[in-house]
Amino acid sequence: MFLFGIRRLLTALVALWGMATVVFLLLRVLPGDPAETLLAGSGASPEAIALTRQQMGLDDPLPVQYGRYLLSTARGDLGRSLFSNRPVTLAIAEQLPATLHLAMAAWLVMAVVGIGLGILAALRAGSWVDRLTMGGAVLGVSVPIFWSGLLLISIFSVGLNWLPATGAGSWRHLVMPAIVLGLVGAGPLARLVRSSLLDVLHADYITVARGKGLPSRIIITRHAVRNAMIPAINLMGLQAGFLLAGTVVTETVFARPGLGRVMVDAILWKDLPVVQGVVLLIAATYIAINLLVDLTIMVIDPRSRQT
Amino acid sequence: MTQSFPNHPPAQQLPGAATELLAPARLQPPSWMPQHRALRQNPAAWVGASILVLVVALSLAAPWLAGVDPLATAPAAQLMPPSLSHPAGTDLLGRDVWSRLLWGGRLSLGAGLFATTLAVLPGTLLGLVAGYAGGRLDMILMRVVDVLLAFPSLLLALTIVALLGPGLVSATLAVGLAGIPRFARVVRGGVLAVRSEPFVEAARVVGCRPQRIVLRHVAPNVLSAIIVLGSLELGYALLSIGALSFLGLGTQPPTPEWGIMLAEGRLLLRHAPWVSAFPGLAITLSVLAVNLLGDALRDALDVRTAG
Amino acid sequence: MKKMWGLFVLSLVCVQIIVTGCAPAARSPSASTPGTDTTRHGGKLVYGLTLAPSGIDPHVNASSELGIPLTSVYDNLVYRALDAETDTDQQFVPGLAQSWEVSDDGLAYTFRLRHGVTFHDGTTFNANAVRINIERVMNPDTRSQKAVFLLGPFESVEVLDEYTVTIHLSAPYAPLLDGLAQVYLGMASPAALTEWGMDYQFHQVGTGPFKFVDYVPNDHLTLVRNERYQWGPVLYDHAGPAYLDEIEFRFFTDPAGRALALEAGDTDVMGELPPLDAAQLERDVDFVVLPVPVPGQSLGLMLNSQRPPLDDSRVRQALLLATDRPAIVKAIFGEQSPVAYGPLTAITFGYDPSSANSYAYEPSRARALLDEAGWTDSDGDGIRDRDGQPLTLDAVLMTWGSVPEVAQLLQSQWAEVGVTLQAQTLTYPAALEAARQGKYHLIPQNYSGSDPDLLWSYYHSGVPFNWSQVSDSHLDEVLDRARSLPQPDQRSRAYADAQQRIMELALLVPIRDPVNLNAASGRVQGLRFDAHGWFPLLHDVYFEQVE
């Protein structure tokens, strides 16, 4: 287990390096000159634009830029934004809490709703409860947040005045964003839980357990749910990354601060250091979460330890 | 194949309540039905198929049913509510929403299905290979998948847009490619869960070639997860294409496509809800239909592998 | 299945009822009795900003959004008068400079500064502070994106005595006062500039009616009242400290959510509302809509005059004649928005009203001009062609300003005269790159500015953002001359000439004059905007009843 951990950590570092390199290269493919973007509309001369480009270090050959980037990243320095001139680490540190709160709350909504409905639907497979639940799951995936978010605000903030429409800071600010974001993930989760639980309920060992005369409750909780959880946990790991990186639309609709917004603005404006920094952070978080997922599965499912 | 394989009867054979489900009487080996009968007797499948046929037929019949040109603007007739002359109302530019909906179905469904295929096929293959091969290959593949999963899909989309130019094709490619790692990981998780099952072991012992084992024994058993996620992926794809349009980088105006119609309609949500409600409904219905069919298909396929 | 369907439809209907049902909820109108000064004091205003600016150091960054909060943190040497006759000498009024004089050659501006002004950190404002501020802006390491260009042909700044300072130019530059009147050249505390250096934007210290407290990007920016404020310009309605205790600015990037946030009570003021939302708020007694026209460029599409077939001025003129601008503006921007006729908006100093007569919607004349230029529909497919080439134009669009919607109506209108318009929406950096490479026939442009010299930055040959790619010696000469003329009426005549030339050459398709649709809760009193259009004068704002 310990050796496994070390090995995974090393490969994670390699993965991060690969990520850093890919992002660095991709960003250079995107059209646009940050110096020009910065100075458009200001009456700047071509010389002023050239000087700014040089100050940004964009005149250096690519290998030089790449080397500088790797060295400073290794030292923990993610550079400064080309547009706001702020240190990227600061920008991340200040936006991360809001994003984490949202992602964690949404993840919780997803887990509770997804697993709960999934089990319910599987146990009542074929009934109207099942159909309603699964219909709802589809609705969750096929109604866009940028649409449903506005509806929720219209109803619960403007109409009923129960919840603040926008912003961050208290749990009340989190309710609507967490629900819309969480429900998107809950749909697939509920369906997956339902389907794997149905698979498991008809597996041999359950038949054996029933044959031994174990009570249904024990069979379901101790055997069926436990085994059906494996694909679900896998998916929840995936969704954690999706939630973390996919908060941008939610943040925009509910006017929340957060990393998603920062990253999208940075990509759209080609703010190289900010994109590189945020992507590295998301990648690192993501890799860490999936490491956890793999470890969890190893604990739950002894079979997978054979690898 | 012998009876020891962990297969289960089609869902529609299951009684509605959990107590019934676990009743000893149901523990007899089920009497297998031929697959066509399974599909035919599943009412959900019928509903799904009917909706899908209807949506596809309406889209294909657009030239005859649309009535007016989906691109014809009429600023004087903007934002008219649904009426006899405009069954789904008109949008900000006075275009007929019904006509755009029908014509849009061709593009949206086509793009959504293409993006889904693009995600499912390579993703499943990667997951099968990684999961079955295990060891170093699995390790490397999964690290790559982790990196890709953590990769912001917007950056990927923008890179593709930069290379191919903005438009529905770029958006579809971007959305499809971004889905590959999701499937790879879920399928691999499923493979890990079944690869040490006795029937796989058995196949290995009797000397089946790996390709045969994966395709004949492993793949069918992760199929339910693939179908469930795959049918939801269509929803993701349609919405992601819409989200790119929301950022102005997906489908280019004035192309009628459900995603961009939805994105355009959200500013009008409080003034002309029909502009976004109809494309939203179209997306939801299509995803619902595909999911219902997916469920039925999953059950039907289980029958075949058992036979 | 049927049950679920019913439920779904039912819930949609419910949602509809709730949404529409709550919108026009008429509440009792708030009584509006003018309060006395003492009743006006107090309260916290929440102000909704639109874009979260990428950086907010006024000397460094360039966005209009940064000026909305920071206009209240800083004072300027001079201010642009709110309602002065634009052609007179009274365009500017005293600020931190009590008076000023310009040398006869137009190369030296000497300012006599107000005494007794202190920065929020307690340090004294004097001539040396002015010098340090201006030198900071000019320092290449500051990487100023806007302020440095407002100073034009700056040469040096000279402190004559404790309260007298002279700015020396290398060439006459009439827009200088306009630049000094903008928040980008607001006077910051030298002590704070030295202490915080590159991170000054998070620790700003000025002399204005409100003190900067903190700024968390995407979240909030907070100001509190400066109790010592006694030196407000005549623009402000009252002397002494501001009424409000505190102002919190919050960021609302999504236009669709702005009116909702205002109605939900999350903000007291909101800027840049979508036209339909503004119209709806206007019907609501609880809210006041304040449309503010913005001086500067009109929103329009620049025509690339170097790229065939637009190198033929007849084709460009035909496009203008084939454009039904009032229909476009009414459909997309609503009744509040004026139609644009030239490169400048109607409220910009130097605007030439005579261009309003040019290029009314005359598709028949457009067809005639295209025929004359050799573009005819020889193959009968409805699209004009010449030498086997169809008359197809490429537009590079950006997502702001409803430009994609405008382009779609242009597509229809131009198709009527046999012209195909293909549009591509790009990110801002990508659009700039396409512009630099000249890969477009049309590209939108819309930069605001209160001095008509901005024409120089977009129509003079050889400037980087000359997107109509014009190189016209007459235009160059007029624009060069206009920026050096000392008298406003002379400048105004020169700019009229320039605007006529631009429209004669048909270098752009003007669409509309931008109007910032602000709205405020009915409790908010005294909200006005300065001459730059974007920036509110928050010093005079108060709440009708302070609970």
* Cβ <8 Å between C218 and A262: yes
Q: Which residues pair with A87 in a beta bridge?
A: A80
* Cβ <8 Å between C327 and B76: yes
**pLDDT higher than 50, residue C170:** yes
Question: What ipTM was reported for this prediction?
Answer: 0.81
The residue extents of the domains of chain C are: 6-293+516-543, 299-513
Question: In this predicted model, what pLDDT tens digit does every residue of C241-278 receive, in sequence order?
Answer: 999 999 999 988 888 889 988 998 999 999 999 999 99
As annotated, the residues of chain A forming the CATH 1.10.3720.10 domain(s) are 91-300
List CB contacts (< 8 A) between B147 and chain A.
15, 18-19, 22, 283, 287
The predicted model scores a pTM of 0.85
Nearest by CB to A85, from C4, C198, C447: name it.
C198
Secondary structure (3-state) at C423 = strand
Looking at domain C299-513, its CATH superfamily turns out to be Dipeptide-binding Protein; Domain 3 (3.10.105.10)
C430 touches chain B (CB under 8 A): yes
**pLDDT higher than 90, residue C391:** yes
Tokens of C276: 């339909």
Cα C184 from Cα C56, distance rounded (Å): 10
Question: In this predicted model, what pLDDT tens digit does every residue of C125-149 receive, in sequence order?
Answer: 999 999 999 999 999 989 898 999 9
Highest mean pLDDT among A286-290, B177-181, B227-231, C539-543: C539-543
Touching subunits of C (3+ CB pairs, under 8 Å) are A, B
Looking at domain C6-293+516-543, its CATH superfamily turns out to be Periplasmic binding protein-like II (3.40.190.10)
Q: Which of B14, A57, A42, B267 is nearest to C280 (CA)?
A: B267
Q: Which of C219, C214, C253, C195 is nearest to C73 (CA)?
A: C214
Which residues, given as ranges, of chain B have pLDDT below 50? 1-35, 303-307
Overall average pLDDT of the A178-184 stretch: 87
Mean pLDDT score across all residues of chain A: 81
Residue in chain C closest to B76 (alpha carbons) equals C331
* Cβ <8 Å between B22 and A263: no
Q: Distance (Å) from the C-alpha of residue C434 to the closest C-alpha of chain B?
A: 11
Long-range contacts of A132-137 (CB under 8 A, 24+ apart): A132/C3, A132/C4, A132/C7, A133/A190, A133/A194, A134/A190, A134/A191, A134/A194, A134/B291, A134/B295, A135/B288, A135/C4, A135/C8, A136/A187, A137/A186, A137/A187, A137/A188, A137/A190, A137/A191, A137/B232
Mean pLDDT score across all residues of chain B: 77
Cα C154 from Cα C475, distance rounded (Å): 24
Q: What's the CATH number for A91-300? A: 1.10.3720.10
**pLDDT higher than 60, residue C108:** yes
**Which of residues B266 and C318 earns the better pLDDT score?**
C318
* Cβ <8 Å between A36 and C433: yes
Nearest by CB to C425, from B75, B166, B271: name it.
B166
> What are the start-end ranges of the E strands in A134-191?
none
pLDDT at C23: 36
Overall average pLDDT of the A26-39 stretch: 85
Q: Distance (Å) from the C-alpha of residue B75 to the closest C-alpha of chain C?
A: 6
Overall average pLDDT of the C226-250 stretch: 94
**Which of residues C434 and C547 earns the better pLDDT score?**
C434
Cα C152 from Cα B251, distance rounded (Å): 43
List CB contacts (< 8 A) between B149 and chain A.
238, 241, 286, 290
> CB–CB of B5/B304 below 8 Å?
no
b/e map C149-172, b = 16+ CB within 10 Å: bbbbebeebebeeebbbbbebeeb
List CB contacts (< 8 A) between A269 and chain C.
54, 427-429
β-pairing, C164-169 vs C385-386, is unpaired
Q: For the purposes of burial, counting CB atoms within 10 Å of the CB of B4, is it exposed (0-12), middle (13-18) or buried (19 or more)?
A: exposed
- First-residue to last-residue Cα distance in chain A: 11
* Cβ <8 Å between C409 and B93: yes
Q: Distance (Å) from the C-alpha of residue A275 to the closest C-alpha of chain C?
A: 14
Which domains does chain B show, CATH number per domain? 30-64+94-301 (1.10.3720.10)
Tokens of C115: 């005494």
The CB density around residue A100, as the number of other CB atoms within 10 Å, is: 15
Q: Which of B17, B11, B53 is nearest to B33 (CA)?
A: B11
Mean pLDDT score across all residues of chain C: 89
User: How far are the Cα atoms of A181, A290, B92 from residue A9, in angstroms, in the given order?
Assistant: 30, 12, 54
Q: For the purposes of burial, counting CB atoms within 10 Å of the CB of C203, is it exposed (0-12), middle (13-18) or buried (19 or more)?
A: middle
A135 touches chain C (CB under 8 A): yes
Among residues 204-263 of chain C, which lie with CB inside 8 Å of chain A?
216-219, 250-254, 256-257, 260-261, 263
Tokens of C512: 């509309």
List CB contacts (< 8 A) between B276 and chain A.
147
* Cβ <8 Å between B267 and C276: yes
* Cβ <8 Å between C19 and B43: no
B15 touches chain A (CB under 8 A): yes
**Which of residues A134 and A66 earns the better pLDDT score?**
A66
A28 touches chain C (CB under 8 A): no
> CB–CB of A249/B243 below 8 Å?
yes
Q: Lowest mean pLDDT: which of A38-52, A113-127, C33-47, C149-163?
A: C33-47
Dihedral angle, C-alpha A26, A28, A32, A37, nearest 10 °: 110
Cα C383 from Cα C452, distance rounded (Å): 39
Question: Is the Cα torsion angle C137, C143, C146, C152 positive or negative in sign?
Answer: positive
C62 touches chain A (CB under 8 A): yes
Q: Which of A33, A42, A147 to mutate to test the interface with C (most CBs of C within 10 A)?
A: A42
* Cβ <8 Å between B193 and A230: yes
Preceding omega of C94 cis (within 30 degrees of 0): no
> CB–CB of C223/C69 below 8 Å?
yes
Q: Which of B278, B254, B276 is nearest to B265 (CA)?
A: B276
Q: Which of B52, B149, B161, B285 to mutate to test the interface with A (most CBs of A within 10 A)?
A: B149
pLDDT at B21: 27
> CB–CB of A277/A92 below 8 Å?
yes
pLDDT at C270: 95
> CB–CB of C533/C524 below 8 Å?
no
pLDDT at B18: 28
